[in-house]
Amino acid sequence: MAKQLGFYFDQTLCTGCKACQVACKDKNDLPVGVTWRRVAEYSGGTWRQDGDTFTPNVFTYYTSISCNHCDDPQCVTVCPTTAMHKDEHGIVTIDDGKCVGCRYCEWACPYGAPQYDKDAGVMTKCDLCIDRVNAGEQPACVAACPSRALEFGEIDELRAKYGDTAAIEPLPDPAMTRPNLVITPHRDAQPTGHGTGAIGNPEEI
């Protein structure tokens, strides 16, 4: 068994530009509506108005998220056909021949990673660009990030370098699926379960 791979995300650098999302779509020819990597805007705070003046107490940060190739992937657990499975790299992947497009995995994944392709009638998802990785390149999203906010590699190494935080709003509690994801939190990041903001772009994720 090869070592488990995963993503690192430096939230302090993310500008919400979505170069990662579009690079992924370009590389994988994904239609509108099938988006393997997405970026959430989490925003909140208030304004105090005092006569003619106003004072903000406002925060915003972005989270770029794809499949976290979890140690305990709910998508695999609920898949009735065994199409969804973890391969020898720990990559959660879909056996196209087996998938019937029932969408249980989409419903089960708290990260929204499995994406239904209505034209093909099957589920699709991030495969960590294993073809690029095998060729010694980085996944398309990682190579694309203008801010160098994404890294990819063996999760043990990433955690040794960056710690093991992944419980950041608006992400779910990592205990649910044990994601192979490490985040350096934004200065205004709020811990999962203790958020005071809301997702500002729900239609985009």
Partner 1 sequence: MTMTDMATRPTPLETPVPRRSFMKWSAAAGGAAAAVGVGAHYGLLPVASASAEPSGGDDAGEKVVWSSCNVNCGSRCPLLMTVVDGQIVRVDSDPTGDDEMGTQQIRACVRGRSIRQRIYNPDRLKHPMKRVGKRGSGEFEQITWEEAYDTIAASLKKTIEKYGNEAVYLNYGTGALGGTVAKSWPPASSPIARLMNCMGGYLNHYGTYSTAQISAATPYTYGAGAGNNSFDDIVHSKLVVLWGNNPHETRMSGGGETFVTQTAKRQSDTKFIVIDPRYTDTAVSIADEWVPLRPGTDAALVAGLAHVMISENLHDQEFLDTYCVGFDEEHLPEGAPAGGSYHSYVMGLGRDGVEKTPEWAATITGIPASRIVQLARTIAQAKPCAIVQGWGPQRHANGENSARAVMLLAALTGNVGITGGGTGAREGSYQLSLSAFPTLTNPVKTSIPVFLWTDAIERATEMTATADGIQGKDRLEVPIKFIWNYAGNALINQHSDANRTARLLEDESLCEMIVVIENQMTASAKFADILLPDVSNSEQPDLVTQGSAGSLGYLIFADQVIEPLFECRTVYEMCTEIADRMGVKAEFTEGMTQEDWLRKVYAESQAKEPDLPSFEELREKGIFKKKNPAGTVIGLQAFREDPVANPLKTPSGKIEIYSSLLQKLDETWTLPEGDRITPLPEYTPTWEGAELAGTGDAPLQMIGHHYKSRTHSTYGNVAWMQEAHPQLVWVNTLDAKARGIENGDVVQVFNERGRIELKAHVTSRIAPGVVSVPQGAWYAPDKDGVDKGGCTNTLTSWHPSPLAKGNPQHTNLVQIEKA
Which stretches of the chain bind partner 1, using CB under 8 A? 12-19, 21-23, 25-33, 35, 43-47, 49-56, 58, 60-62, 87, 93-96, 117, 119-120, 122, 124-127, 130-131, 134, 143-148, 186, 200-204
Nearer to partner 1, 18 or 109 (CB): 18
β-bridge mates for residue 48, sequence order: 55
Nearer to partner 1, 116 or 174 (CB): 116
* DSSP state letter for 104: H
Q: How far is the CB of 182 from partner 1 (least distance, A)?
A: 18
DSSP conformation letters of 137-176: ---HHHHH-TT--EEEEEHHHHHHHH-----BTTSPPGGG
Nearer to partner 1, 29 or 193 (CB): 29
Nearer to partner 1, 35 or 180 (CB): 35
Q: How far is the CB of 175 from partner 1 (least distance, A)?
A: 27
Residue 8 CA to residue 14 CA, distance in Å, equals 12
Per DSSP, helices labelled H in 29-184 are 74-78, 104-108, 130-134, 140-144, 155-162
